[in-house]
A and B are shown apart, each in its own frame.
Chain A
Amino acid sequence: MKTTALHDVHIEMGAKMTEFAGFHMPLWYKGIVEEHMAVRKSVGVFDVSHMGDILVEGKDATEYLSYILPSDFSKIEVGKATYTAFINHRGILIDDTIVTKLGEDRYLVVPNAATTDLIYHWMFSLSGGYDLSLQNISSEFSSIAVQGPNAEKVLQEIVEEDLSKLGFFHAANVTLKGIKIKENILSGDKAYLSRTGYTGEDGFEFVVPNENIVELWKKVLEVGEKYGIEPCGLGARDTLRLEKGFLLSGQDFHPHEEPRTPLEAGISWVIDWDHEFLSKDVLLKIKEEKKYELFRGIILKERGIPRHGFLIYKDGEKIGHITSGTMSPVLKVGIGLGYVKRPYIKVGTEVLVEIRGRKVKAEISKPRMVK
């Protein structure tokens, strides 16, 4: 099993560990609910080093990425991070990702852990004829996410630059107080910091050389102490994103097991239709037909927890299925995400979820179930 540079620290700190995407990662430290609420109310820190890091550089980088992804990077300013998705020739999602424009001809692509090698090969296979270089730097860099309403206050004690000036989904190379960052290919002798995350709260993500991550992790926990910072595991990461309706690659969509277009997955907003990109024709046709199922939130009205694979019914007919589910720590009811047929996608539609043979009352919601 693969490990991150923080692995021994997690063990020392008593984390309950699990396997995820081939990595031995913390599932929780004190408990999923406690960590979840720390992030919603104050601040938490996550090891997200399992996520990939691919550098794209060269004079054709903008043109290339704007073709292989549905976003048009020629319209995007330097320093901006963009949530987007890899789609195949049939318009099916392979992975969702954040692409940051580091310079006019320079980008950082962050795929999911389980898909990083696949995405790297996919990008390579589509790079013929373009003047650019691709580098998978995932194994040399580590990442932590500091998330929650107090994330800025915590990090401002470590970062020299004024963080109130770093906008949502923007990135910068920053100087850290008391931590000397090893000279590196991504951000020179500084730390790469973006105002991004997967929790639906304000928050930041660092990418730094492996050699610096233990010191940074400890420093964040130390200065965050007065805000009640909690180290958080993948359990809270999952429940936090679920309440906000964020997709989990490989679970809410998967090229083979759950083949979905970005239209079905509810992220059609990542598509810039005013430019040419891979599979545009296929997606345009699907968009115009408007027959596709849609990604929805499902909130239970009775006791129970929807889980991956459970079926959704209306008037005795199967109308969809759950792809992710949990007990919502904020709403304190079972919630799920999944795909629902038209015309049952309307918010407030009463449905039934089958839980181990029992039909439980539920209601269709927007994917974002917690405001």
Chain B
Amino acid sequence: MRMIPEDLKYTKTHEWVKVEGNKVRMGITYHAQEQLHDIVYVELPEVDTEVSKGDTLGVIESVKAASDFYAPVSGKVVAVNNEVADQPELLNQDPYKNWLVEIEMSNPDELNELLSPEEYKKLLEEES
């Protein structure tokens, strides 16, 4: 379970979510960065952008391809981690420490739709 921390929630599209009061921090999972490999570019949303759950939040590019990442919950973007835009390889080095976007939730009930670590583990097993 080293690759799926117990204190986080997850999405089917391989984002992790950490809840802090009425805000969440999100990033991509170990599995996501492992699949992408060689991450070389990260495009983050503008602060203050209003997003709905499932909207494209930004783009992560490996040498080979570009992949979108998605808003795990609805709300307003209140912070982005520019450090990963400057050093995209940080996502390969530690995808859980290096978060991408902080969202102020407009509908905290949506948290119930996220996957538990156990459910996410099951998803990975099904996909492999």
By secondary structure, the A interface counts as: mixed
Q: Are A239 and B63 touching (Cβ within 8 A)?
A: yes
Q: Are A305 and B64 touching (Cβ within 8 A)?
A: no
Q: Does A2 contact B (CB under 8 A)?
A: no
* A31 CA / B63 CA spacing, docked (Å): 10
Give, as a whole number of angstroms, the nearest-CB distance from A221 to chain B: 21
**Residue interface bits A30-71, CB-to-B below 8 A is 1, else 0:** 011100000000000000000000000000000000000000
Which of these, A33, A303, A304, A356, contacts B63 with CB under 8 Å?
A33
Give, as a whole number of angstroms, the nearest-CB distance from A241 to chain B: 13
Counting chain A residues whose Cβ lies within 8 A of the other chain, the interface size class is 10 to 19
Q: Are B63 and A32 touching (Cβ within 8 A)?
A: yes
Q: Are B37 and A28 touching (Cβ within 8 A)?
A: yes
* A304 CA / B37 CA spacing, docked (Å): 17
Q: Are B41 and A32 touching (Cβ within 8 A)?
A: no
Q: Does A338 contact B (CB under 8 A)?
A: no
Q: Are B43 and A27 touching (Cβ within 8 A)?
A: no
> Which of A129-137, A175-183, A326-334 lines the interface with chain B?
A326-334
Which of these, B43, B59, B63, B85, contacts A329 with CB under 8 Å?
B63
Give, as a whole number of angstroms, the nearest-CB distance from B80 to chain A: 14
Known contacts A235-B64, A305-B66, A307-B66, A31 near B59 by CB under 8 Å: no
Nearest A residue to B39, CB-CB? A327
Nearest B residue to A327, CB-CB? B40
Residues of A within 8 A of B37 (CB): 16, 28, 31-32
Q: Does B38 contact A (CB under 8 A)?
A: yes
Nearest B residue to A326, CB-CB? B63
Q: Are B41 and A33 touching (Cβ within 8 A)?
A: no
Q: Are A327 and B61 touching (Cβ within 8 A)?
A: yes
A302-318 at interface with B (beta carbon < 8 Å): 303-305, 307
A201-250 at interface with B (beta carbon < 8 Å): 235, 238-239
Residues of A within 8 A of B38 (CB): 31-33
Other 18 A-B pairs with CB < 8 A, given A33-B38, A235-B63, A305-B61: A27-B64, A31-B37, A31-B38, A32-B62, A33-B63, A235-B64, A303-B41, A303-B85, A304-B43, A305-B66, A307-B66, A326-B64, A327-B40, A327-B41, A327-B61, A327-B63, A329-B63, A356-B59
Could you list which residues of chain B lie within 8 angstroms of chain A, going by C-beta atoms?
37-38, 40-41, 43, 59, 61-64, 66, 85
Could you list which residues of chain A lie within 8 angstroms of chain B, going by C-beta atoms?
16, 27-28, 31-33, 235, 238-239, 303-305, 307, 326-327, 329, 334, 356
The 6 closest A-B pairs by CB, nearest first: A327-B40, A32-B63, A33-B38, A31-B38, A305-B61, A32-B38
